[in-house]
Amino acid sequence: MQNAHAMNPPGDAPASRLKDGPGPGSREAAALDATWSDPPGLLGWLAAVNHKSIARRFIATTFFFFLAGGLLALVMRLQLARPGSKLVGPDLYNQLFTMHGSTMMFLFAVPVMQAVAVYLVPLMLGTRSIAFPRLNAFAYWIFLFGGVMLYVVFVLGAGPDVGWFSYVPLAGPDYSPGKRADFWAQMITFTELSALLEAIVVITTVFKLRAPGMTLNRIPLFVWAMLVTAFMVLFAMPSVMLASTMLIMDRLVGSHFFNPAEGGDVVLWQHLFWFFGHPEVYLIFLPGLGFLSAIIPTFARRPIFGYTAMVLSLIATAFLAFGLWVHHMFAVNLPELGKSFFTAASMLIAIPSAVQIFCWLATLWSGKLDFKTPLLFVLGFFFILVLGGMTGIMLASVPLDLQVHDSYFVVAHLHYVLIGGAVFPLFGAFYYWYPKITGRLMSERLGRWNFWLFFTGFNVAFFPMHLLGLKGMPRRVYTYQAGLGWDTMNMVATIGALTIAAAVLLFIVNAVRSLRHGAPAGANPWGAGTLEWATESPPPPCNFHAIPVVHGREPLWEPPRTEADGARPAFTHVGGLAADTRELLATTVLDARPDLRVNFPDPTIWPFVSAVAVTALFIGSIFTPWAVVWGSIPIAIALTAWFWPQRAETSVHLSLERKPWQ
């Protein structure tokens, strides 16, 4: 397969036999660019399946949700700045914190990581596409519609108001009449469906579409992190989808899963929710670790220390994350012995994280440092996440948790862990990979301001909340009375929140301004070692005009092998895939040897139409169970059209199958 290029018959090849080749500017490269581009026009935009187009939209959408969620938080902080404030009443406030939590967890944190993965994983693996590009497009549309639906009902004044955790029976039919909780439940099922589909896409891509030579122990650590995350999604998300479906059945058709008066159980909801909810934290956090493992080696100018330990600790974290959901339920009357087990599991999950942190320290310790903005955000991560980890250890202890659970201490802890563990790395990642997406660098000067404002604002906003919790302030309260000793610290926290908002504004200014005015980046502005920097910035539609062959973990850093190095000649890239049809090279799972030539589907509007049909069913099902019956008809039609074999496509695939050497 590697020398398939040589088998290309000489002479003027007919169109269907044009093979890919190295280098931009060649006829082959132009054909590849045309093949892998999305079709023009509005219909073409809706039909797009190129992973980079979908990922750019996905990232932008999640960023808008991040801004919306942040804005809600700002209103909450303004309300809490003074005791007895009349800025918003309980009804709006309860919607605000429900929408804030739901947005950040379901519409930002997990999707943004998956969106970044959809962009970067194929580039890092040296392939032309993610697996299942149409499914990927479908997952994006589902996500978009689910999120937009939630915001539409919120703007219409019917936002859910029972918390992002939506505990029953408060979220059940008796105590939340109206349709608020139904919209919430359906949005959950929607966005988690999208997460599941993206997980399948990522897992298949990582296992089957790696560049030849990229054995399992040469996969970049960010890809490892996303692979582990994707597996966690597969196990965690069904739990919450099941729970939200049970909830809507309780509300819509009068089942009694959570109604104690009819033999249901309110604690069942909590088990199902936190069996998802705790792994959720780690599946936000693991991609953050992946970002760090990409950024640190580049700016420390050396390979990561302890690659194998890093991979194993990612896997260990994923396993342990499923064994500690009960630490959200210590205040529920559960058996004592079980609680000790969950205390131990919750504390011991700190060990794999510690392994990662010590390995990064070892990497920095012996590196030569290039203090660019991405590295600054990494250093911010160290301070914030380690502090958040410490308070996590406190929360894992049953007696301590019984004091601080559901107090502002927990609010402080979870923001330290989630913002420190995911948002700081994400900002660093944005500065780091921005040139790969746009072709230009972001301003370093603004980047530094952005970092210091964010870092300071973050600590001013969230550190006082630890003390508020210890002073007895419960969370999820829309107001508090003067004279309880909470006034000053709440004011300070609000000032911190405003500083964070300024930092985010500065970030937007930097990102938008750099689109036009940033310095042109070139293929590898940071001198990094992984494959995504081997191609132009931004990458061509096909990512790589010739599929690279990998010989180590840092392909761009290692000196090119020549025949003089060893007995076997070393290939730097693979040729021979068709340039005028979407053909990919699939490799074996363990050692990434060329395995198959796979024909990929073309752009089509049907994933979009299917997503619209699914949305119609889900929204209809909020109002009548019959929507499930009638709504499935358009879905069936759309899916049939989606999978209907196209004669032209089939004939190309058949001819390539029959004569693979052509």
Partner 1 sequence: MMQALHDVLAPFGPQAAHVRELWLLTLAVCTVVFAAVLAALLLALLRAPRANAQSSPDLSALMRPEPGKRRSVIAAVAASTLLLLALIAASIFTDRALARLSTEGALRLDVTAHQWWWEVRYVEPNVADSFVTANEIHVPTGRPVIVTLKADDVIHSFWLPSLAGKKDLLPGRTATMHFRADRDGIYRGQCAEFCGSQHALMAFFVVADPPERYAAWAAAQRRTASEPTSEQPVRGREIFMRSSCAMCHAIDGTAAQAVRGPNLTHVASRGTLAAGALPNTPEDLKRWIADPQQTKPGTYMPATKLAPEEMDALVGYLQTLR
Local structure of residue 368 (DSSP, 8 states): -
Q: Which helix (H) or strand (E) holds 246?
A: helix 221-252
Considering only residues 175 to 234 of the shown chain, the ones binding partner 1 according to CB under 8 A are 175
Considering only residues 355 to 374 of the shown chain, the ones binding partner 1 according to CB under 8 A are 355, 357-359, 361-362, 364-371
Question: Please, which residues bridge with residue 247 across strands?
Answer: none
Q: 340 or 646, CB closer to partner 1?
A: 340
Considering only residues 478 to 517 of the shown chain, the ones binding partner 1 according to CB under 8 A are 478-481, 483-485
Encoded tokens for 65: 């949700």
DSSP state letters, 113-143: HHHHHHHHHHHHHT-SS-SSHHHHHHHHHHH
Q: 28 or 182, CB closer to partner 1?
A: 182
The footprint of partner 1 on this chain (CB under 8 A) covers a number of residues equal to 95
Least distance to partner 1 from the beta carbon of 260, Å? 3
Q: What is the CA radius of gyration of the chain?
A: 26
Q: By CB under 8 A, name the one of 4, 45, 204, 265 that touches partner 1.
A: 265
Burial label, 25 (beta-carbon count in 10 A; 0-12, 13-18, 19+): exposed
Least distance to partner 1 from the beta carbon of 170, Å? 4
Stretch that binds partner 1, among 127-135, 257-265, 452-460, 488-496 (CB under 8 A): 257-265
Stretch that binds partner 1, among 122-130, 265-273, 450-458, 509-517 (CB under 8 A): 265-273
Burial label, 420 (beta-carbon count in 10 A; 0-12, 13-18, 19+): buried
Q: By CB under 8 A, name the one of 27, 34, 60, 90 that touches partner 1.
A: 90
Q: 181 or 577, CB closer to partner 1?
A: 181
Q: How many CA within 13 A on the CB side of residue 78?
A: 14
Considering only residues 452 to 481 of the shown chain, the ones binding partner 1 according to CB under 8 A are 469-472, 474-481
Cα 89 to Cα 332: distance, rounded to the nearest angstrom: 29
Q: 438 or 581, CB closer to partner 1?
A: 438
Per-residue binder mask for partner 1 (CB under 8 A), 519-548, x = binder: -----xxxx-x-------------------
Considering only residues 583 to 602 of the shown chain, the ones binding partner 1 according to CB under 8 A are none
Of the candidates 428, 490, 424, 486, which has an alpha carbon nearest to the alpha carbon of residue 458?
424
Q: 200 or 379, CB closer to partner 1?
A: 379
State CA 469 to chain mean position distance. Answer: 30
Q: 365 or 623, CB closer to partner 1?
A: 365
Least distance to partner 1 from the beta carbon of 565, Å? 14
Stretch that binds partner 1, among 273-281, 375-383, 542-550, 634-642 (CB under 8 A): 375-383
Least distance to partner 1 from the beta carbon of 429, Å? 17
Local structure of residue 13 (DSSP, 8 states): -
Considering only residues 131 to 160 of the shown chain, the ones binding partner 1 according to CB under 8 A are none
Q: 46 or 349, CB closer to partner 1?
A: 349
Considering only residues 377 to 406 of the shown chain, the ones binding partner 1 according to CB under 8 A are 379, 382-383, 386-387, 390-391, 393-394, 396-400, 402-406
Burial label, 445 (beta-carbon count in 10 A; 0-12, 13-18, 19+): exposed
Considering only residues 294 to 353 of the shown chain, the ones binding partner 1 according to CB under 8 A are 300-303, 305-306, 309, 331-333, 336, 339-340, 343-344, 347-348, 350-351
Least distance to partner 1 from the beta carbon of 456, Å? 17
Q: How many CA within 13 A on the CB side of residue 128?
A: 30
Question: Please, which residues bridge with residue 585 across strands?
Answer: 597
Instruction: Provide CB contacts within 8 A for 235, sequence distance 6+.
Output: 279, 322
Residue 275: how many other CB atoms lie within 10 Å:
21
Contact 304, 296 (CB under 8 A): yes
Residue 50: how many other CB atoms lie within 10 Å:
22
Least distance to partner 1 from the beta carbon of 513, Å? 22
Contact 356, 310 (CB under 8 A): yes
75 contributes a contact to partner 1 by CB under 8 A? no
